[in-house]
Structure 1
Amino acid sequence: MLLENYQQQERFWMTTLFGATTKSDLQAFRGEFTVLEGELNAVAGKRTPPRALLKQAVLLATADKLLMVAGSFESVDELPEFISLFKDDLDPSCVPVIFIENLAESCQIDAEGNRYVLIQYREGAVWNEVSEFYYIDKHDLKGLSSEDKVLKLYEAGKEYQPKFPVKTLEEVLATKTNAKREGFGAV
């Protein structure tokens, strides 16, 4: 299974959920997903923290293809790395929804055969934001296992038709801002 391969490659930086859905051929993951590994510290025998991380990632996969990808990047500069590393793993129907902190404007891009929905991200949780975009309420998820909640979100996302303008990846990279995500909580 694809997600098991990612786990063996140590791409799961932090796992909130990883398991099979009630559809036996599908697996779900939620957590922090490593796009670019950190440097290897030969003395300590460990890696430094990842250089690019898909935060609050929500993934749904078959044995060999990603059906759903959602998560957030701190910078739009991380997006080309994701595209180049995982383009072959994306199912043709997969439309990754990526929230990006320094994105100038929410938009859509076509890259390497897949459409990507890129959304400005200043506050909130990816799961809640995606659920809202897909018109999923808490009562829609009641009684489902955590893995099946990801499956339900995926099924709802099939109907999602964003109205964001279409841009090129080059335009998106050229118009990035210096914005940072707003932090909340104890200081």
Structure 2
Amino acid sequence: MLLDTYQAQGLLTVTLVNGQTSDAGVYAYRGDLVLKEGKLREGSTNTNDRNPPEALLIHSALVIENDKIKFISGLLEELNLLPLFVEKYKADFAEDCIALIYVENIGKGMQVVMEGVTFKLLPYKQGLVWNELLEELYIEKNDLKGQSAEDKVATAYREAKTYKPNTEVVSFEEAEKNTIVVIKEAAVGAI
């Protein structure tokens, strides 16, 4: 199974959900998806003994069917991570893969086609990515009541199938022209 393969390769981290939905053969995942592994720890030859990942698809949500990614959502800190993500996972995309990706450093929504998948890119300001996704897809908390965590991801996927953003399809090069500088506020803890 694809998620087991990813787990064995150390590509899943901060896992919140990882299991079968109520539909046989359909699996859901929520957590961080590694885009670029950390370097091997000094002196280690074990490929899973690595420093923390260098790049992630943060707070991702995936639906896997027939060992193919049917749905993917998550947060990229920078648009330039999208080609890295596509290169790493393109062999696992279903032909009809639906991708809704939040990106911190874009100023407006847009769509980019890469490897046959239309990535619907959404600007991200702050908040929980999962909650932002549910709001974007007009899914109310009551719509998810009584569902397993895996079925909640499947519900998001079903709603994403009909999601049609009012944004233009642009080349990746054109998308790069719409990046912005993100200034993060320093967090202050207890004194």
Q: Above 0.5 in TM-score?
A: yes
- Quick one: which of 80, 84, 99 aligns to 2:83? 80
Runs of 5+ consecutive residues of structure 1 not aligned to the other structure: none
1:160 aligned counterpart, secondary structure: coil
Q: RMSD value over aligned CA atoms? A: 1.8
Residues 1-187 of structure 1: pairs in structure 2 closer than 5 A? 1-43=1-43, 46-180=49-183, 186=189
Q: Is the 8 A contact 1:72 1:126 kept in 2?
A: yes
Q: Is the 8 A contact 1:121 1:181 kept in 2?
A: no
Q: Select between 110-119 and 43-52 the one with higher mean Cα deviation.
A: 43-52
- Counterpart CA distance in 2 for 1:102 and 1:181 is 11
Q: Is the 8 A contact 1:98 1:116 kept in 2?
A: yes
Q: Select between 171-180 and 27-36 the one with higher mean Cα deviation.
A: 171-180
Identity %: 35
- Counterpart CA distance in 1 for 2:172 and 2:37 is 23
Moved over 4 A (4+): 180-187
- Counterpart CA distance in 2 for 1:132 and 1:31 is 19
Instruction: Give the 3 Å change call, closer, same or farther, for CA 85–140 of structure 1 in structure 2.
Output: same
Task: Calculate the TM-score normalised by the size of structure 2.
Answer: 0.91
Letter in 2 for 1:133: E
User: Aligned-pair distance for 1:27?
Assistant: 0.8
1:156 aligned counterpart, secondary structure: helix
Task: Calculate the TM-score normalised by the size of structure 1.
Answer: 0.92
2:125 aligned counterpart, secondary structure: coil
Runs of 5+ consecutive residues of structure 2 not aligned to the other structure: none
Instruction: Give the 3 Å change call, closer, same or farther, for CA 173–113 of structure 1 in structure 2.
Output: same
For these two proteins, the number of residue pairs brought into alignment is 187
2:94 aligned counterpart, secondary structure: coil
User: Aligned-pair distance for 1:129?
Assistant: 1.2
